[in-house]
A and B are shown apart, each in its own frame.
Chain A
Amino acid sequence: MSDADPDADHGPTNDGQRFDRLPETPADREVAGRASREEVLDWWETRFGIGREVLGGYSFWEKGAGKVWVFNGEAADPSRVETIGMTFLRTRQEHWKPTTRAVQRFGEDATRNVVELGPERASRFVAGEDQDLPEWDGDWGYLIVSHRIAGTSAPIGVGLYLHGELRSVVPKGSRADLPVVER
């Protein structure tokens, strides 16, 4: 690369257009700022209690700045495909953020930082509404938001809890006006 490349002296950089497999551990890291597989697995365990027995069989890939994808198939040459697996986690920021779909897919195994909403609050949440939630006495930050449906608790998506307020970070395209279903 030319001399103008500011990272030329600091090893490979993240190519936002391409999938690259996460390094196994921080010691294996070649691309600055890239999360390692161990850190990703540790984060889900620490934050939500979702352990390696759930996620250990998957591979993790970065494409775009900090966007981590989860994949369960046989690895491809990532430079020549559109996507592998599904979006999973946003890294390269102070507080990592799981995706709505990752939380729906794996969040039923969570044992902590899960807030279960009642029927009326669940409908407001999935519509994208922020709401006061002073009774929450757990961690601040990104939480798994769930509700009771068909006899069990099921994750709806991701909420951001700050200063007594639960913000809905359900993406616009996934929000819906759904009925309040009393159980």
Chain B
Amino acid sequence: MNPLDRYESLVDDVDAFRAACDRPLPSVVRTNRIKASPARVREAFEAEGVAHDPVGWHDGIFRLPDGNPGGNWPHAHGWTHGQEEVSALPALALDPQPGDRVWDACAAPGSKTTQTADLMDDEGTVVANDNDLGRLSALRHNAERLGVTNAIVTNQDARNFSLKPLAFDAFDRALVDAPCSCEGTCRKNPDVLAEWTLDHVHGVAGIQKGILTRAIQATRPGGTVVYSTCTFAPEENEAVLDHALASEDCEVVPFDLPLETAPGVTEWDGETYDDSVTRAHRVYPHHNDTGGFFCAKLRVGGAEEGAGGSDAATADRDAAGVAR
């Protein structure tokens, strides 16, 4: 069975959805502002004759119609990082500030860790964790190439992550870009559809619930947790949020993304979810010609404490990195 069949009832235009899923994705790179500005990257691409198109919704992200994102001078300098458009969304939703203490719970191979460090101006601390030691070497390579100096890399099971090795006992923000069924990456890797099983969906959903729960517990009152996946499965998205809402002191909060999205769903396969999951964003491939994605933002409950980072600039922050 093609797992995309089961999501047809969720999308507005089934034919467009299926057609988009069949098209390969273009190569996309994100500017690493730790080392260069988007204008400098653009100028270097132009001098070198590297075809590049702005994505329209972000001034630092470029599509490279001729592919080969690693075969040019800006890449050699660590000015760019190959990263699919939708993969840039969770760090924007997380909105980390310079000086923050941030946890990237499932960090390898480091696209979102390095983007987070970039958004923090490489100031503060981003703790990049992954349970897969092999994949951590890719993360370390990427962090070095991009010149990230504010990252601590840890190798723990995120579900019972210990902050004991750290200099603080709570994060200001946490990102859970969870392991998932990955149908949203089918335009890059069609094998994910052939390998898909419902058993895996149910198994990985348990892991996702465990990681999100730990992230909420490890974040200070008033702090932010972003939950994202690249699957369309409500079992791995809204159901995971619904579980966290029932078991932890937190709320799903509204936020804007600079792309066309659909709201989270409150009913699936005989289950119903808390109404607030509609504040999450579903990104379907046919809406913006991207991969598929899911992204939710949670506020951890309780009174704010004066913690390491600043929330003051949250409201006007996205104007800095996002051109609408």
Partner-B contacts on A (CB < 8 A): 58, 70-77, 79-87, 99, 101, 104-105, 126, 149-152, 154, 156, 173-174, 176-179, 181, 183
Contacts and interface: CB of A to CB of B under 8 A. Distances in A.
A173 B43 CA distance: 26
B76 A83 contact: no
B144 A72 contact: no
Interface in B57-75: 70-73, 75
Contact of B144 (A74, A82, A84, A86): A86
A173 B165 CA distance: 31
A177 B165 CA distance: 41
Interface in B184-208: none
A71 B150 contact: yes
A149 B45 CA distance: 10
A183 B267 CA distance: 59
In the complex, the 3 A-B pairs of residues with the closest C-beta atoms, listed nearest first: A73-B125, A80-B165, A105-B147
B166 A76 contact: yes
B47 A101 contact: no
Contacts of A105: 34-35, 78, 147, 149
Nearest to A173: B141
22 contacts: A70-B149, A73-B126, A73-B152, A74-B125, A74-B168, A75-B167, A77-B166, A81-B152, A82-B153, A84-B153, A86-B149, A101-B145, A104-B147, A105-B34, A105-B149, A150-B40, A156-B76, A173-B141, A174-B76, A176-B70, A178-B76, A181-B48
A91 to B, nearest CB: 18
A104 B144 CA distance: 10
B77 A86 contact: no
A151 B43 contact: yes
B154 A73 contact: no
Contacts of B48: 179, 181
A179 B71 CA distance: 9
B148 interface: yes
B124 interface: yes
Interface centre among A150, A174, A181, A183 (most CB of B within 10 A): A150
Contacts of A154: 77
B136 interface: yes
Given A87-B144, A174-B76, A71 B149 contact: yes
B20 interface: no
A81 B154 contact: yes
Contacts, number: 110
Interface of B: 34-36, 40-41, 43-44, 47-49, 70-73, 75-78, 101, 122-126, 136, 140-141, 143-145, 147-155, 164-168, 308
A154 B153 CA distance: 28
Nearest to A19: B152
Contacts of B72: 178
Contact of A73 (B36, B43, B124, B144): B124
A101 B79 CA distance: 12
Contact of B149 (A72, A74, A77, A80): A72
A13 B154 CA distance: 24
A74 B73 contact: no
A138 B53 CA distance: 42
Contact of A150 (B47, B140, B141): B47
A81 B144 contact: no
Contacts of A79: 165
B9 to A, nearest CB: 44
B73 A149 contact: yes
Given A87-B144, A105-B147, A154-B77, 8 more contacts: A74-B167, A74-B168, A82-B154, A86-B147, A99-B144, A105-B78, A152-B40, A174-B145
Contacts of B153: 81-84
Contact of B47 (A75, A173, A183): A183
A11 B136 CA distance: 34
Contacts of A101: 78, 144-145, 147
Contact of A84 (B43, B152, B164): B152
Contacts of B140: 82-83
B122 A181 contact: no
Nearest to B124: A73
